[in-house]
Homo-oligomer: A and B are copies of this chain.
Amino acid sequence: MPERDLHYLTELAGQLRVDSVRSSAAAGSGHPTSSMSAADLMAVLFACHLRYDFEHPDNPANDHLIFSKGHASPLLYSLFKAAGAITDEELLSFRKRGSRLEGHPTPRLPWVDVATGSLGQGLPVGVGMAMAGRLERLPYRVWVLCGDSELAEGSVWEAAEHAGDEGLANLTLIVDVNRLGQRGPTRHGWDTGAYARRFGAFGWHTIEIDGHDPGQIDFALGDACNTRRRPTVILAKTRKGEGVVEVENREGAHGKALKDPDTAVAELGGVRTLTVDVHRPEIMPQPYRFDDGTLTLPEYEPGTRVATRTAYGEALAALGAARGDVVALDGEVADSTKTEEFAKAFPDRFFEMYIAEQQLVAAAVGMQARGFVPYAATFAAFLTRAHDFIRMAAVSQASIRLVGSHAGVAIGEDGPSQMGLEDLAMLRAVYGSTVLYPCDANQAAALTAEMAGISGVSYLRTTRGDTPVVYPPGERFPVGGSRVLRHTPADRATIVAAGITVHEALAAADELAADGIPVGVIDLYSVKPVDKAALTAAATTTGNLITVEDHRPEGGLGDAVTDAVSELGPRVVKLAVRGLPGSATPAEQLADARIDRRAIVEAVKRLL
């Protein structure tokens, strides 16, 4: 590398450090030291290897850069300033109310694809983007910057396995091995060989370098670009707080603005006004798109018995024929969730993520960032494994569709480890989420198709066993709606149910009607948002609501109903799964959990 370039890169890195110190000082908080360790790495990336058009962040040819170590946001924003994307004034708004420059990056900035800040998520999401790049047949690269501490997260190794096995050569991981975590030294310190052995075992090309040497960095980044059939990890030995004696390579200097920023800036060579000319992709290529067609949803005969999971699988396959942007991801249970119907029809758009639910959800997040419409399915119980990824997907304002099968005690003999009993609580509490729970096959098919158009995190809860088809095919079930399945003006109470318990509620209503007690039944298939109007009508006319759900009493259907009517003050009785189930048949489980028709009848009689 010519001396002139070396000088420029060193100066640019100095500016990035200075701006990281300045922005953190202006905020009075932040992570300057974690930014300073990676400044040389990013200076060389931006100046020599990144291909990105800051004026057109939607250019499909743009590379993607994920700051998995999101706390190094001062560095990222300093890079944006150097690239001319933001002003120095905006840089100094860091962490202030209303600023786009948040403590950790979010897609409120047009050059940020996904939110980071929960460590160990950047690489799995980057895997999803690299998968998307293959599918789009685009030459972009995915660069992920992560810290050494976060390599302790299992999700990193789910991603390492998937990327290595798939040979995602368009993915490069840059690890800022600065030796110091938040609390103290990391497990492996500066032993980059320890990390190299691990990534190497997972099939990666590994490069160990001095992360403050522009020449070595440039070589490594170039080597990553030239490596075929394997992802590359660059393990860069760095010093946290590099360049400022007060903090350099010292414990106790994590996550704080520097005490004396003026001295630090002087020590770093003072404020500079360099710009970095990031290489713009010359063309704006057309991504490859799979064909669209017409949507012909499966139809199920009322009165027959079909599992909602089966309807999901068949509807997803139908949706795949209609929309080329739909992709499906599986946690190695596609035969159970019935995603296999899609896999058979569209193998190119089906992705087996194996039993790695964090990577499953992260891949969906990565692919939606490139415009795909992902459906990711596993057992409802096992989606809890990916809770933090779902939470962060909401912060990313990502549109992903999750499907949880085998919900509730109704699965029967397999026992509590396989029962999704907390999934509604988990998904309802996610920002901006939509939670759907169909009771029959036609409804499940319609909602599966509906989800394609939903923004944010949406969730479909399906049932293992066959259930009666109650709706004719072709009906629409809008998000936020409900269906009144039984109603007379004489109703003395209203049963609110969803999914498997709708059928128990209908049976109970019939039994009560025969006993001279007319009750209404509402199918609350949209658990979030709920149909407040329908619930308000029921609450004000009968004044007595009974909610029944195959879920824990906390955070599910019952809470959604009580919340919707809480300012009206009706009486609400909640039936839910309160004990710890064992093995039993589905019917025995519903009876033991006191959410079957008999329990409903008794609850209504007790209430009245």
Contact = CB atoms under 8 A, between A and B. Distances in A.
Contacts of A149: 332, 354-355
Given A334-B183, A415-B104, A154 B152 contact: no
Contacts of A352: 183
A417 B392 contact: yes
Nearest to A156: B154
A161 B187 contact: yes
Nearest to A430: B422
Contacts of A96: 583-584
Given A161-B187, A354-B187, A417-B117, A555 B566 contact: no
A392 B580 CA distance: 11
Interface string A552-575: 111110111011001111111110
Contacts of A336: 182
A438 interface: no
A478 interface: no
Interface in A190-216: 197-198, 200-202
A418 interface: yes
Contact of A559 (B181, B354, B430, B559): B559
A333 B182 contact: yes
B554 A559 contact: yes
Contact of A413 (B27, B418, B582): B27
Contacts of A355: 119-120, 149-150, 152-153, 181
A588 interface: yes
A425 B384 contact: no
Contact of A395 (B115, B417, B430, B552): B417
A165 interface: yes
Interface string A206-229: 000000000000000000000000
B392 A388 contact: no
A588 B96 CA distance: 10
A333 B183 CA distance: 6
Interface in A97-135: 97-99, 101-104, 106, 108, 115-120
Interface residues of A, number: 111
A571 B582 contact: no
Nearest to A588: B97
B332 A583 contact: no
Contacts of A150: 355
A565 to B, nearest CB: 9
A477 interface: no
A156 B354 CA distance: 14
A144 B416 CA distance: 21
Contacts of A187: 161, 165, 354
In the complex, the count of this chain's copies comes to 2
A98 B431 CA distance: 40
A528 interface: yes
A292 interface: no
Interface in A516-561: 528, 543, 552-556, 558-560
A10 interface: no
A589 to B, nearest CB: 8
Interface string A390-424: 01101101000000000000000111111001100
A330 B431 CA distance: 28
Interface string A77-110: 0000000000000000001111101111010100
Interface in A162-190: 165, 181-183, 186-187
Contacts of A413: 27, 29-30, 95, 103
A182 B95 CA distance: 47
Nearest to A115: B417
Contacts of A161: 152, 187
B152 A155 contact: no
B567 A572 contact: yes
Contact of A108 (B117, B384, B559, B582): B582
A158 interface: yes
A388 B395 contact: no
A476 B582 CA distance: 37
Given A425-B555, A559-B559, 13 more contacts: A95-B413, A103-B415, A103-B418, A106-B416, A149-B354, A150-B355, A153-B154, A154-B158, A161-B187, A182-B332, A198-B198, A384-B387, A562-B566
18 contacts: A102-B415, A115-B417, A117-B418, A118-B381, A118-B417, A149-B355, A154-B154, A154-B158, A154-B358, A154-B359, A182-B332, A183-B335, A384-B387, A395-B417, A429-B555, A562-B563, A567-B573, A569-B572
